[in-house]
Amino acid sequence: MFENKEQSKTPITDLGEFGLIKHLTNANKKVNATTVMAVGDDAAVIENTQEQTLISTDMLVEGVHFDLAYAPLKHLGYKAVAVNLSDICAMNAIPSQITVSLALSNRFTVEAIEELYKGIYLACDTYGVDLVGGDTTSSNAGLVISVSVIGQAKAEDVCYRHMAKEKDLIVVSGDLGAAYIGLQLLQREKAVFEVNPNMQPELEERHSYMLERQLKPEARKDIVELLKKMDLKPSAMIDISDGLSSEVLHLCEDSSLGCRIYENKLPIDPQVVNTAEEFSMHPSTCALNGGEDYELLFTISMEDFDKIKGNPNMTVIGHMTAKEDGANLVSSSGDMLPLTAQGWSSIEKTE
C-alpha cells in the first residue's frame, strides 16, 4: 500500500579513507585567489597577502554540541563551518579557507557523510571560503567534527578583546536569545523523534526563526563588511557563542574594565518573547545566558555613535565603565544587579 522509499546506504568501508576523501572533495572548487593548493597534498598552500593571517579552531562532539536526533546532517555541516567563521569575523577579519576533520563511527553511511558535506559546501559557497584540507578517520564512538578556519585582515583592522576603553559604547549585532529558544523547542520535540527516528519533525511555522537560529546559525561576515563600509573600527570585539553575559565579562576582564548593560536595550525578537513565555522563561534570561546566537558584540568610541545611530543591524546595549564599578546589569525596573555568566536568577520569570 505504502511505498517505502529506500535510501541507498553505502558503507564507508566500500570507499576507504582515501576514496571517501576523493569522493567528497571531487566537486571542490577554489574561489579565493589566495588558495594555491587545496585538498590533495600533505598540506594546503595559501598565498600570503600584505595583511595578517588569522586562525581559529573549534571541535563539535556528538552528544555534547549536537544531537543527531534533531540536527539534520546538512544543517550540522553548515553550522560547524559557520560557528568557526564567526570567530574570524569576531576579529574584524574576513575568513578565506577552512579545513575539516571528521571522526566517524561505522554507523554513518557514505550518503550520510555526503549530506554533512552538502552543508559544509553550502557554507563555503555562502561565505566565499575554500575547503582546503582535512582528515577523515574512524571513531569508536560518535561523530566528532573539527574545523579550522583561516582569515585575513589588515593589521590595523584587527579587533582584539583587550582594547575596549572606559566609556566606550557596547553594541550588539542582530538579536539575542532565539537560538536558545530554538534548542528548547527541539528538545521538546525530541521525544517524538525518538519514537520514530525517520519521522520528520512537524514544527510550527511560528517557530521557524528560532529553529533556524539554532540549527543553521550564520556568521556575521556582513557586519564586518558593514563596519568597513561605515569606516568604523570597533575598539574591541567578540562573538556571542556562550551567551551575552559571558562574552561581556570576557571583554571586561581582558580590557580591565567594568560595564553597565541595560536590560531594556537588549534586542530580542518578538517571537522569542512570545515563545519564552511557553517555557516559563524570561526573554532577557535567554538573551543574556542562552548562547549560540553568533552575533557580534563590540565596543565603539562614543564619537562613533553617529555612524551606527538608527542602523537596524546594531543596538547599543550599554557602556564600559571603570573596573572598580564592576560589571552590572540595570534591570527594566531600574535595579542594578551584578552581571554573572552562570545565569541571572533574579529575573527568572515567576508569574
Shortest Å distance, C-beta 39 to a second copy: 11
Shortest Å distance, C-beta 48 to a second copy: 4
Q: Please, which residue, 77 or 283, has the CB nearer to a second copy?
A: 77
Shortest Å distance, C-beta 245 to a second copy: 13
Whole-number Å distance between alpha carbons of 220 and 90: 8
Residue type, position 147, single letter: V
Q: Please, which residue, 102 or 181, has the CB nearer to a second copy?
A: 102
Contact 188, 87 (CB under 8 A): no
Q: Please, which residue, 149 or 248, has the CB nearer to a second copy?
A: 149
Give the chain's end-to-end CA distance (angstroms, integer): 51
- Return the C-alpha cell found at 244: 551575552
Shortest Å distance, C-beta 55 to a second copy: 5
Whole-number Å distance between alpha carbons of 139 and 137: 7
Residue position matching grid coordinates 572533495? 25
Q: Please, which residue, 57 or 280, has the CB nearer to a second copy?
A: 57
Shortest Å distance, C-beta 36 to a second copy: 6
Task: Give contact residues for a second copy (rule: CB under 8 A).
Answer: 36-37, 40-59, 61-65, 87-88, 90-91, 93, 97, 99, 101-103, 132-135, 137-142, 144, 146, 148-151, 155, 158, 160-162, 237-239, 254
Whole-number Å distance between alpha carbons of 170 and 167: 9
Q: Please, which residue, 88 or 276, has the CB nearer to a second copy?
A: 88
Please say whether the dihedral angle defined by the alpha carbons of residues 167, 85, 61 and 173, taken in this order, is positive or negative.
positive
Whole-number Å distance between alpha carbons of 35 and 45: 6
Sort strands 314-321 and 169-173 into parallel, antiparallel or unpaired: antiparallel
Shortest Å distance, C-beta 51 to a second copy: 6
Q: Please, which residue, 30 or 265, has the CB nearer to a second copy?
A: 30
Q: Please, which residue, 142 or 201, has the CB nearer to a second copy?
A: 142
Shortest Å distance, C-beta 288 to a second copy: 17
- Return the C-alpha cell found at 326: 564592576
Contact 80, 146 (CB under 8 A): no
Whole-number Å distance between alpha carbons of 236 and 248: 11
